[in-house]
Structures are given as C-alpha cells and as structure tokens.
Structure 1
Amino acid sequence: MAWRSQSDSNEGLIQQLKENGIIKNEMVANAMKMTDRKLYCRVAYPYVDRPHSIGFSATISAPHMHAFALENLFDFIKPGCRILDVGSGSGFLTACFSRLIDAKSVNSNEKSLVIGIEHHPKLVEFSIGNLNSDDIKFIEEGKIKIIQGDGRLGCKEFAPYDCIHVGAAAADIPSELLNQLKPNGRLLCPVGLAGETQQMEQYDKTASGEIMKKTLMSVVYVPLTDLNE
C-alpha cells in the first residue's frame, strides 16, 4: 500500500486518509484524530503518511497502516476486552486501541486492558512518556500497561486476548501468540523474512479453537526481535 497523504495538522491528515478511502469507519477516524501523531513521532513533519524511525531499529508505522489495523480489528475491540499490541513502539496504536474501547464502552462498566510489549527498555520508557504526554489517565487508571519482553512470547499474565496486533514482521507466526488468543479472537501479523516483502496475515480462532488463516496483502516491516538480536 502506498498513499500520498500529508497535512500540517493531525486532523487534516486523518481527513485526507478518509478522503482517500483508507479510513472508512468514523469511530476509527475519531480515535486517530484524538491521538495526535506529533506526540509519538518526534520529527519535523509528523503528519505525513509514511513510517519514521523511533530509534533502536524500530519505527512508527505509516498512518494508513495504523488505520488498516484498527479497521481490521474493529469488531474484536469491545467493552471488557483485552488487547495485546506486540512491538508497540511509540505507543500510538496502543493509545488508539484504548480510545476505541472507551468509545464502545459508554454504557458499560466492564474493565478493559491494552498491553503493549517492547523488547528494548528505552522504547518502553519512550512509549510511556508519549502516553503520559497524551493522556495521563492511560497509565494511571490502568487502561494501558507497557511491558518489556520478547514479543514472540506474548504476555501470559494477562492472556487470553480478544485480539493481538503485531507491529513487526515475524519469520513465522509465533505459536505462543496463537495460544494466547481467545476463542473467537483475531491475530494480525506481518510474516516474512527481514529485508524482503512480507505478507500481512490474519488468524481467526474459532469457538472450538481451530485457526483460520487469511493472507491480506504484501507489506514491509522491520523484524520482530528480542533484546539480544
């Protein structure tokens, strides 16, 4: 996917993504409008539809890929859900997940949780700082937790998850992530070797635990690694 959207404001960027047909769901658009990209992307021109480096061999994905993930997982984001964001990086998409849950939970008291996992302690620190700059309630009220670890192993402590998003490419789909996916849940992950074209794959787990795989499109992501790689 390649798009030519840019603006001098976050709202303008999201509006262009809507006009280009990338964002179709108004709740997704609102979540992305409320999550100002400049707080998560410390570059001169944050409102351009392209990925940017955030250090430590990690990137913040292009806005159209964030929109794609939110739209793809939309039906699995609901009151009381648990979401795992593997390779959460800057924390941008993690914040959008939390805001979508809030938008869907207006008449619900169910407690939801979004877990972001990153392999490098500096990225954990970076994303927590970004989230606090955006809305101190994310962390203070326990809506979001950012942890350090090998994303390929997921986070058993808070499993199972209604949906799992992986923001870096795995050479093969990590079996532990599939194990931590709740029945009737969905996992979205780019799969393929580093430096090559990869495939965005969707894994749906049926009520009986069967895994249904669907290849969605070709992508290029940085590799999913641990601290020693």
Structure 2
Amino acid sequence: MRSLILNGLASFERYLATMAWRSHGKDNEDLVNNLLSNGLITSNQVADAMKKVDRRNYVLSKFQAYYDSPSSIDYGATISAPHMHAHAAQCLLPFCKPGANILDVGSGSGYLSAVLYHLAEDSTVVGIEHVPELVDWSIKNLKADGLSNAIENGRIKMVAGDGRKGFADNAPYDVIHVGAAAPTLPQPLVDQLASPGRMFIPVGTSDQHVWQIDKDEDGNVSKKVLFGVLYVPLTDYKR
C-alpha cells in the first residue's frame, strides 16, 4: 500500500511540473485562467480570490510576476509558484468560511495572506514573518493591492515573530497555512488550530512533503500526506 501511495505522489509531482510551465500568463487574469484550465485550480471561488490579488504587487522581479514559478524576495525567502498557492487555497477552502480566523506562517510578501482574506468573507488574517524587513514590505504590497482599509481596521495584521510558535494572541485559527518547511510538525501550531480546523504545512528537510493536518470537533488530530515539495526552511532569520 505504501508503494502505491508513493507512486501516486510521484505521478502527481510530475503532473505539477508539466502543468506549471504551461500556466504562465501575460497578466494576472491570464495566469489564473491558465491555472484553472490546466486543472491546477479546481474551484471558481479560489480562481476569483486569486484574480483579486495582482501578483505583480508582491514580487521583486516584475517581469516574472505572471510566471508559474517561485521567485526570490531576498533575505533567503521566496514567493511560491502560483500553482502552489492555488493548491494551498484549494486545500484550505472548506475551512475558509465567512468570519474565519486565519494564520499565514512565513507570510513573506503578503501574497497568500491577501488571497486567503478574499477567499473567506469577513475573515481576519494574521501573517507572521520572522524577517522584519519583509513584514514592512508586505504591508506596502497589501496597500498597493487595495487592502489599506483591511490593514487599518485590523482585518489583516502582519507581525514579526517566530512562526514556529504561531501567534497565540489571535488563536484559535480555523485555517493555518505554513509557507516554509518545518523539519517536524510544530506542536504550537497544532495547539492553536481550532476544533474543527485545517493546516497546510510542508514538513521535512531533504525529503519534504505537504501535510494536511485536520482537527475535528472533539480535538482529534489527523494527518494526510498530499505531495512532495521543495520549500525554504522554516527557521530563524540569520542576519
């Protein structure tokens, strides 16, 4: 059974690699439409949320804004490829209900914090990032993308801190997204997950996979391995 699961994961990884290079767009809407037509987005709700967030506002390399590939944002960090953000949003969608409380760990440029904000009506999103300069930059990006009011009224809050410890001040969270790979599952994030709630997190060092962590109404926690990835590590900022 384990070999069948691994074979399935390998096939899915090859599919992602094949579809990603076909999904580049000439602008943000074209990029999202290509992700949708290639099956990397499977929900119109996710597509609509991603169309509201112009990726150009969240990258340093503007000419790569609509490529379906990761891009450096300095400080050893990257903005993930759009298809990875799409998979995260798809995975978390069932828990992105009106009024959801959301934590985005390793929020980087602020891109996925914005997508999750649009995905869940009347939501509150906390983005936590351990590089203070990226926190400041992400706030500028969000404002450039039309989300000044959401920041001013506290619906989007970007903070500097150790994402491995979560952000207890706003817990529990219906949704937790982690944008960097933890060597093991951080217990504080599990503790801060609501009942029910869902977490999307890459786990591993040289061999990384995305885990879907679910907590049910009774507080029982389950894990599902989704697919292999290659993320920057979830770690301390080394100046």
- The answer on 1:14 being equivalent to 2:32 is yes
- The answer on 1:128 being equivalent to 2:139 is yes
Please say if residues 168 and 223 of structure 1, whose CA atoms lie closer than 8 Å, have aligned partners that are also in contact.
yes
- The answer on 1:113 being equivalent to 2:124 is yes
- The answer on 1:202 being equivalent to 2:202 is no
- The answer on 1:146 being equivalent to 2:152 is no
Alpha-carbon distance, 1:215 to partner: 0.4
- The answer on 1:27 being equivalent to 2:39 is no
Give percent identity, aligned residues only: 50
Partner of 2:174: 162
Partner of 1:57: 76
Quick one: distance in 2 between partners of 1:45 and 1:156?
A: 36
Q: Unpaired runs of 5+ in structure 1?
A: 106-111
Residue 87 of structure 1: which of 88, 97, 106 is its match? 106
Partner of 1:108: none
- Using the size of structure 1 for normalisation, the TM-score is 0.93
More helix by share: 2
Query: SS at 2:120's partner residue?
Result: helix
- Using the size of structure 2 for normalisation, the TM-score is 0.89
Quick one: distance in 1 between partners of 2:238 and 2:218?
A: 37
Quick one: distance in 2 between partners of 1:197 and 1:14?
A: 29
The aligned length equals 219
RMSD: 1.1
Q: Unpaired runs of 5+ in structure 2?
A: 1-15
Please say if residues 77 and 163 of structure 1, whose CA atoms lie closer than 8 Å, have aligned partners that are also in contact.
yes
Quick one: distance in 2 between partners of 1:34 and 1:80?
A: 19
Quick one: distance in 2 between partners of 1:210 and 1:228?
A: 36
Query: SS at 1:55's partner residue?
Result: coil
Residue 118 of structure 2: which of 89, 94, 99 is its match? 99
Alpha-carbon distance, 1:228 to partner: 4.3
Please say if residues 60 and 72 of structure 2, whose CA atoms lie closer than 8 Å, have aligned partners that are also in contact.
no
Quick one: distance in 2 between partners of 1:7 and 1:188?
A: 26
